[in-house]
Structure 1
Amino acid sequence: MILHIESSTQVCSVALSEKGKLVKHLEINSHEFVHGEQLTLLIDALFEAINGSIKDLSAVSVAIGPGSYTGLRIGLATAKGIAFGLKVPIMGISSLQSLIYLAKQQYLDSYFIAAFDAKRNEVYMRMESDNEILLYDQPVDLNDFDFTWPNHCVLVGDGNLKVAQTLKNAKFMLDSTCTPSALGQIQLAWDRWSCNSFDNIYELCPNYTKPCFIAERINKNS
């Protein structure tokens, strides 16, 4: 079995799959980030629900971003700990890629945009057609975003409304129900498992796509 972990947004989601088929899925969609308190508990509940053992795992896949800095670190640290302890392969999966994969299962449209809110007027964005990646995961400043979309497209992710306001002469559908989930990793991870495409556990790190800036506390007496 493969364990899938998604923690790039406020959704805390885990799933188990066997040969590309869902075995069990659990998730918490909260207005707060609960990954630190709930992720390992969800994983325990996952195995308890199927009367299984974590020792049954043959691999782990995990969302590597873009997304929440803290959520990604928690998810990746958990995945690495499990993979290292069990000596099984690990696979990092793009959070935006797995979200678009879920959208493609629901719509027949040819174009998809996944966007996570990156604060201010920025989003983390990925664009795909049916069979081509048009824009790889990257931060986009919507103040400079000038893209005329000629075809109907589906916009997903919590930054989709911000993107929609910048599209010109475009027909699009906003879907706020398609949210990041470990379910989106199942087929992507199985495809990689099938061709032995694994990541180096020591080198795998979150894809923040932009630096994490930490404000310094100013000493007013200095």
Structure 2
Amino acid sequence: MATILNIETSTKNCSVSIAKDDELLCLVEEADEGYAHGEKLHQFIDWCAEGASISLKDLDAICVSKGPGSYTGLRIGVSSAKGLAYGLDIKMLSVNSLEVLVQSQINKGYDLIIPMIDARRMEVYTALFDGQGNPITATEAKVIDETSFEDLKGKKIVFVGDGAEKCEEVLAHLDANFVQTYPSAKYMGNLANAKFESNEFEDVAYFEPFYLKNFIALKKKTDK
């Protein structure tokens, strides 16, 4: 019976949960426009442990959402997960952030579930999953326009994530619902427990976030 701490920081949502055999014991999360994950994450972890009435020493593993998503958010989440795994001498697991989004929409009668994490402008991180949450295509960074997903006409589709709403108008030619939301640690329990049972552990020393794209620092404009 595995007790697992789940950390999700790939978007504006700083989210922490504790699950035992994929049963949710406690969830603490907050979406912050300022990406204050560095200030809040460890406090949320402590609150979550208190809410679940366990000590961090009772954990069997830590699972972190590895990306794609916000460079800063992923770096904070993965660094915290690695530090706790080292400090507590427990296993570390990771899951794709898109798969976390998909969990909220499985078995709802859709032919396809298409998660979308905002990557600025009209670009999103995305992939195709069937209605039961099984992956069909690899994760990619995709620019969305009026011709996107034309080959999926006639399918019952749900687009889910913080990139869904901005794509609704240009994808009006599809039979689709658009669910604007963030990945949440609430939906990581089942994924984490499955990986724990199959011994899919990460090498803590060498593990890196799945950024998908290189980080580009933008210079701040100054008044002349």
Per the normalisation by structure 1, the TM-score is 0.90
Q: Does 1:212 align with 2:223?
A: no
Q: In structure 2, what residue type is equivalent to 1:190?
A: N
Contact 1:59–1:89 (CA under 8 A) maintained in structure 2: yes
TM superposition shift of 1:145 = 5.5
Q: Secondary structure at the match of 1:42?
A: helix
Question: In the aligned structure 1, how far is the partner of 2:147 from the partner of 2:39?
Answer: 38
Question: In the aligned structure 1, how far is the partner of 2:63 from the partner of 2:47?
Answer: 18
Question: In the aligned structure 2, how far is the partner of 1:143 from the partner of 1:170?
Answer: 12
Contact 1:97–1:126 (CA under 8 A) maintained in structure 2: no
Distance 1:196 1:145, change over 3 A: farther
Per the normalisation by structure 2, the TM-score is 0.89
Contact 1:115–1:155 (CA under 8 A) maintained in structure 2: yes
Q: Secondary structure at the match of 1:28?
A: strand
Contact 1:92–1:204 (CA under 8 A) maintained in structure 2: no
TM superposition shift of 1:147 = 2.1
TM superposition shift of 1:184 = 1.5
How many residues are treated as equivalent by the alignment?
218
TM superposition shift of 1:217 = 7.8
Q: Please name the residue that 2:198 is paired with.
A: 195
Residue ranges of structure 2 left out of the alignment (5+ in a row)? none
Instruction: Give identity over the alignment, percent.
Output: 32
Q: Please name the residue that 1:155 is paired with.
A: 159
Q: Secondary structure at the match of 2:148?
A: coil
Q: Deviations over 1:117-174 (max 9, x none)?
A: 1112211112101354222221112259532123010111111133333436410011
Question: In the aligned structure 2, how far is the partner of 1:216 from the partner of 1:179?
Answer: 28
Question: In the aligned structure 1, how far is the partner of 2:190 from the partner of 2:63?
Answer: 11
Q: Which moved more, 1:135-144 or 1:84-93?
A: 135-144
**C-alpha root-mean-square deviation of aligned residues, in Å?**
2.2
Q: 1:45 aligns with which of 36, 44, 47?
A: 47
Question: In the aligned structure 2, how far is the partner of 1:55 from the partner of 1:135?
Answer: 38
TM superposition shift of 1:31 = 2.6
Question: In the aligned structure 2, how far is the partner of 1:145 from the partner of 1:29?
Answer: 32
Contact 2:9–2:74 (CA under 8 A) maintained in structure 1: yes
